Amino acid sequence: MEQKEDKLKEVISHAKEYGFVFPSSEIYDGLAATYDYGQLGSELKNNIKSYWWKSMVQMHDNIVGIDASIFMHPTTWKASGHVDAFNDPLIDNKDSKKRYRADVLIEEHIEKIRQKIEKEVEKGSKKFGDSFDEAQFRVTNPNVLRNAQKIEEIENRMRQTLEDNDLEGVYNLIVDLEIVCPISGSKNWTEVRQFNLMFSTELGSVAGDASTIYLRPETAQGIFVNFLNVQKSGRMKIPFGIAQIGKAFRNEIVARQFIFRMREFEQMEMQFFVRPGEEMKWYEYWKETRSNWHKKLGLGDHNYRFHDHIKLAHYANAAADIEFNFPMGFKELEGIHSRTDFDLKQHEQFSGKKLQYFDPELNQNYVPYVVETSVGLDRMFLAVLSASYKNEKLEDGSERAVLSIPAALAPIKVAVMPLTKKDGLPEKAMEVLNLLKFDYNCQYDEKDSPGKRYRRQDAIGTPFCVMIDHQTMEDNTVTIRDRDTMEQIRVAISELNGIIDQKVNIRTLLQ
Ligand code: GAP
């Protein structure tokens, strides 16, 4: 656990030192759970957006993208259920005065039991060696079975109490499980209360209920209210999707773990409109497609897993998370939700406007069902940054901090360097940079020794360094150094584009 926390701390400090992420308004001591992306962070963020947009919108001829406003008519949120049901069950520890999400406390307790099972399996594997049959062990070992049953009982009780909005039941479950506050170690809990997560503000100068509007807590509703606009103006045929990238806001009570849980964050969402009855087929399709999208980044397939929701959101009939192995452990990165026709039907009812599709093949009008993919851009950023950050021991005994960011996402693709600051080398280096900058985000660097400059570029994840030396002046060749292998080869300047493009072009991820 301590090791994991250390890793997160290292990532946070590296992100700040090199201009990826800063605490927001830091000169005023910051604002809790808000962060600013720096000069390299905003490049990385843009590249992640571009990977998502290209693969979702440009690579699918039946998906289009929009950019809806953050403020929406307040009835939107009444219809979507967010005014009444977008709540977190909260509980306070009276001794530490810390506030927790009650369901998260219970889920963490379940995770501990799960870890006990894994330890038991590990013990079995060590004991029986090659003859170990894990599947058999999991269904016969008494300790594993007892713990698995415990988990099932807790999950059932949690699901039931949350579904029934039985807050006393949730409290009793926490007490029965003897869950203690991680800070104070005490079981001195308050009752459980519901807390709405939407930020509200006033429209114009008149205060009062009539002018209360909300900062959108999800981008999805901007898509639902535009369903017919897009369908008609784009002559879209079902099945089709509408995608959007944009800010969302939630008054998270337990906002922590760096950019993982913030009050202002960005989502990349896509609503896929399908025929009623076909939603489960598309739900499975998008689970697989999105999982492949993540794995293509090469951060390690073992770092991803699916988690089926126990408590379904008020709009869903099936939902799963793609979890990523963050420095804090496996946590939600993306949600895939089968949202039924809930949202469109609600908007029909509250607006009095029909939101239906005429299906020419069925010769029938219907309200489409929706399968949604929703990934947090900031969580993607944290996944890429934390999985790429390494402190490597090199063969010569030295160390280097390196960000092995997927080359296509790297903030800077090429650093161009003159070996020395004289003999016309800087001018030649600028000439090379001026050739490359039309295609790649480049950086010029002439300060310090070449070794130090290479380390600086490794630390920000630059896939290539191009060195201009005295031979360049004679035969127009340069050395190009690969971030990952640290190998340098001499090539003609005219070959640079081809070599760089092969590795950093976003096509490498999309194909
Ligand atoms: N439209 C569906 C929806 O909003 P969600 O599971 O609440 O579903 C989707 O959120 C994704 O948005 C999450 O998987 C996560 O990546 C991201 N997300 C949610 N709350 C966040 C927060 N407070 N900070 C950063 N990212 C968040």
Q: Which residue, by CA, sits nearest to atom 18 of ligand 1?
A: 376
Q: Is 88 in the pocket of ligand 1 (CB under 6 A)?
A: no
pTM of the model: 0.86
> Which atom of ligand 1 is least distant from the CA of 261?
24
Q: Tell me, what's the pLDDT at 204? A: 76
- Closest residue to atom 25 of ligand 1, CA basis: 261
State the burial class of residue 482 (Cβ atoms within 10 Å of its Cβ: 0-12, 13-18, 19+): middle
Closest protein CA for atom 12 of ligand 1: 376
333 lines ligand 1 (CB under 6 A): yes
Q: What is the pLDDT along the chain (511 residues), one digit of tens a residue?
A: 456 668 999 999 999 999 999 999 999 999 988 999 999 999 999 999 999 999 999 999 999 999 999 999 999 999 999 998 888 899 999 999 998 999 989 999 999 999 999 999 999 999 999 899 999 999 999 999 999 999 999 999 998 998 888 999 999 999 999 999 999 999 999 999 999 999 999 887 665 556 889 999 999 999 999 999 999 999 999 999 999 999 999 998 776 789 999 999 999 999 999 999 999 999 999 999 999 999 999 999 999 999 988 777 777 889 999 999 999 999 999 999 999 999 999 999 999 999 999 999 999 999 999 999 999 999 999 999 999 999 999 888 889 999 999 999 999 999 999 999 999 999 999 999 999 999 999 999 999 999 999 999 999 999 999 999 999 999 999 999 999 999 999 999 999 999 999 999 999 999 8
In which residue ranges of the chain is CATH 3.40.50.800 found?
A: 394-510
Q: Name the segment(s) of the chain with CATH classification 3.30.930.10.
A: 1-74+203-391
Q: Which atom of ligand 1 is nearest to the CA of 332?
A: 14
CB atoms closer than 10 angstroms to residue 204: 7
Fold designation for 87-196? Herpes Virus-1 (3.30.40)
Token pair recorded at residue 498: 């081809």
Which residues of the chain are in CATH 3.30.40.230 domains? 87-196
- Provide CB contacts within 8 A for 373, sequence distance 6+: 56, 269, 270, 272, 286, 290, 334, 335, 336
For domain 394-510, the CATH class is: alpha beta
Task: Tell me the β-bridge partners of 364.
Answer: 359
The protein residue whose alpha carbon is closest to atom 16 in ligand 1 is: 376
Q: What angle do CA 64, 67, 70 make, to 5 degrees?
A: 145
User: Is the CB of 266 inside a 6 Å radius of any atom of ligand 1?
Assistant: no
Backbone angles phi, psi at 421, to 5 degrees: -90, 15
Report pLDDT for 138. Answer: 93
Q: Is any ligand 1 atom within 6 A of the Cβ of residue 218?
A: yes
Neighbouring CB atoms inside 10 A of 24's CB total 15
Classify 1-74+203-391 by CATH class: alpha beta
